[in-house]
Structure 1
Amino acid sequence: MNWDDLRIIAAVRDEGTYAGASARLRIDETTVGRRLGRIQRDLGVPLFEAVDGVRRPTRHCEKVLEHVGAIAGHVAEIGRIRESQPGPVGRLRIASTNSVAEELLAPRAEQFLRDNPGLTLQFLTSSENVKFSRWQADLAIRLRKPEKGDFMISKLAEVRLYFFEPAETVDAAPVVCAYPDELAAIPESQFLRARRLSAARCITDNVRVIQTLIRSHRAIGVLPEHNCAALLVDRSLRATLLDKRRDVWLLVQIHLRRDPATRLTIDWLRLCFRDLARR
């Protein structure tokens, strides 16, 4: 039994005929009769009787309608929840790497959610890209520009990159930290190749791993700025700002392009990266 079926009972009671209920609910008259017949079979009692060409509710129907009235009231209250919220209402899934979520979004999420009580954010963090074609996320932050796809794409930011190495020479050569071969086109990998540092002994797409090794003062590597705060003030390390920056791209499901909650969230994401640029 579902709410649409229960609405048919109320409509037939109010209009007195299947034709009247059909016009009110904007469904076929045959559908009204068929669905009402199914409800009566499920309940095992008659709901209406024909009197002078009008459908009159039976005592069983009156009992059912008491509950239908209560349900209608609850449905109306649910509908007013949106009206009670100051601003857009919605639940959005944001896909990004762990480091972007942890270092850029999470520190600013509390204030954003407090300012917008109608919004709920779900963070999907992984080094693997979500499948937009399978509706796994509503928005995604990518560090590489997708070649094609059925979504809106725009540049979110250009992130500064730093090369870190020990400030003092040590006896053993520092461990070179690099990214996997599939990331050979990113500026970080290009810089290491140009410096003839391609013989990496630590290969990972996890920037937190590279950050930890660099912090040991026995490793070298390139990191995006949002992972560098503690390293930049470490006097045992030498930091070199790279000429090239890392492009960050924002992907948005097309059907959400005019959604108020989505537009508000996009503005917030841009602000998160804009704050990074001001450091």
Structure 2
Amino acid sequence: MNWDDLRIIAAVRDEGTYAGASARLRIDETTVGRRLARIQRDLGVKLFDAVDGVRRPTRQCEAVLAHVGAMAAHAAAIDRIKEGQVGPVGRLRIASTNAVAEELLAPHASSFLRDHPGLTLQFLTASGNVKFSRWQADLAIRLRKPEKGDFTISKLGDVRLYFFEPADRGGREPVACVYPDELDAIPEAQFLRAKRLTNVRCVTDNIRIIRTMIQSHQAIGVLPEHSCAPLLADRSLRATLLPKRRDVWLLVQNHLKRDPATRATIAWVRACFQDSARE
């Protein structure tokens, strides 16, 4: 089995298309398809299903990729021996919301990577929860506890929440920023719903949009503590601490639990949240 061929399997998994894998590996798209077909023929199994234009790994492919990940870690370790470096080696994909990545992880990422020269972090972000599966991320930070899944889950901590409103409304009803219906279960949405707001004309799950609206002094909304430091210092705003906090959860792929690179990254993620709670 050719190592370059195995890298093609991983690239198709990560990118979801032959074209994406082609761009990532800098080889022709037809070459990707031809070599993947040869691998499937040699193994005697189907590796991907086409679903809505995206290549999804089959169960047989999942088994192959578990070994590919281990081989990639060993290959990186060999490079480290050549370079005379020490410490954990690996590339970890972390899925989180934009706000968590930008405001909790990014401020501490440079020092972490400096202290661990063998590690590479890939941040997978979105306004809502990034989908976590064996094939899209290695670790995920979730603001809601998953009901089930083939992964290890542990609580990272809880986040305080603040409701902001203009200190002086000037006789006008501020615009209410609320969350989409699919987020009805989160404490922020429950708090806003209990207030029976009437001027609800901004619906979003994007923290930056809510923060910008509140900063205009013409809107109300709820923000997590790590996203609202400037607002707490703004005397033109009134901040109310919500009685209920938002739990934060860490998801880790089971096959990575004992991996040194993963364990170092988990410790760093926990430290980021602990530092935020002390601020």
Q: Larger C-alpha radius of gyration, 1 or 2?
A: 1
Deviation at 1:276, TM superposition (A): 1.1
Say if 1:82 and 1:89, in contact at 8 Å, map to a contact too: no
Q: Which residue of 2 aligns with 1:250?
A: 250
Which amino acid in 2 is paired with 1:81? R
**AA aligned opposite 1:165:** E
Matches within 5 A, 1:180-191: 180-191=180-191
Task: After TM superposition, list the pairs within 5 Å mapping 1:52-67 onto structure 2.
Answer: none
Deviation at 1:77, TM superposition (A): 11
The TM-score normalised by the length of structure 2 is: 0.70
- Give distance in 1, aligned partners of 2:76 and 2:246: 48
Q: Percent identity?
A: 74
Name the residue aligned to 2:204: 204
8 Å Cα contact 2:77-2:89 kept in structure 1: no
Residue equivalent to 1:102: 102
How many residue pairs get matched? Answer: 208
Using the TM superposition, give the Cα deviation of residue 198 of structure 1 relative to its aligned residue in structure 2, in angstroms.
Answer: 6.4
Deviation at 1:170, TM superposition (A): 1.5
Quote the offset at 1:197 in angstroms. 2.1
Structure 2: how far apart are the matches of 1:179 and 1:163?
13
Deviation at 1:79, TM superposition (A): 2.1
Report the counterpart of residue 162 of structure 2 in structure 1.
162
Q: Which amino acid aligns with 1:201?
A: R
Q: How does 1:231-250 map to 2 (within 5 A)?
A: 231-250=231-250
SS of residue matched to 1:201: strand
1:144-155 to 2 correspondences below 5 Å: 144-155=144-155
1:171 aligns with 2:171: yes
Q: Tell me which residue corresponds to 1:143.
A: 143
Task: Note if contact 1:144-1:249 (Cα within 8 Å) is conserved in structure 2.
Answer: yes
CA deviation profile, 1:32-72 (whole Å, cap 9, x unmatched): xxxxxxxxxxxxxxxxxxxxxxxxxxxxxxxxxxxxxxxxx
Residues in 2 aligned to 1:93 and 1:82: alpha-carbon distance in whole angstroms: 23
Residue of structure 2 equivalent to 1:265: 265
Q: Give the CA RMSD over aligned residues.
A: 2.2
Measure the CA separation in 2 of the matches of 1:133 and 1:234: 41
Cα gap change, 1:122 to 1:221, in 2 (>3 Å) = same
Shift of 1:169: 2.5
Question: Which residue is 1:223 aligned to?
Answer: 223
Spell out, residue by residue over 1:141-163, the C-alpha distance to the aligned partner (whole angstroms, 9 max, x if none).
11111110000001111000000
Q: CA separation of 1:185/1:2 partners in 2, compared to 1, >3 Å: closer, same or farther? A: closer
Residue 114 of structure 1 aligns to a residue whose secondary structure is helix
Partners in 1 of 2:161 and 2:91 — Cα distance? 33
- How far the C-alpha of 1:2 sits from its partner, in A, is 5.8
Partner Cα distance (1:170, 1:135) in 2: 52
Whether contact under 8 Å (1:95, 1:123) holds in the other structure is yes
**Any idea what SS the aligned residue of 2:191 has?**
helix
Aligned CA distance change for structure 1 residues 169 and 116 (closer, same or farther; 3 Å): same
Contact 1:178 / 1:198 at 8 angstroms: preserved in 2?
Answer: no
CA contact (8 A) 2:80 2:86 kept: no
CA separation of 1:79/1:232 partners in 2, compared to 1, >3 Å: closer, same or farther? same
| In structure 1, C-alpha distance between the alignment counterparts of 2:231 and 2:188, rounded to whole Å | 17
- Contact in 2 for aligned 1:192/1:198 (Cα 8 Å): no
Shift of 1:199: 5.1
CA–CA separation in structure 2 for the residues paired with 1:130 and 1:229: 25
One-letter code of the match for 1:260?
Answer: P
1:114 aligns with 114
Q: Secondary structure at the match of 2:172?
A: coil
Contact 2:127 2:207 in 1 (8 A): no
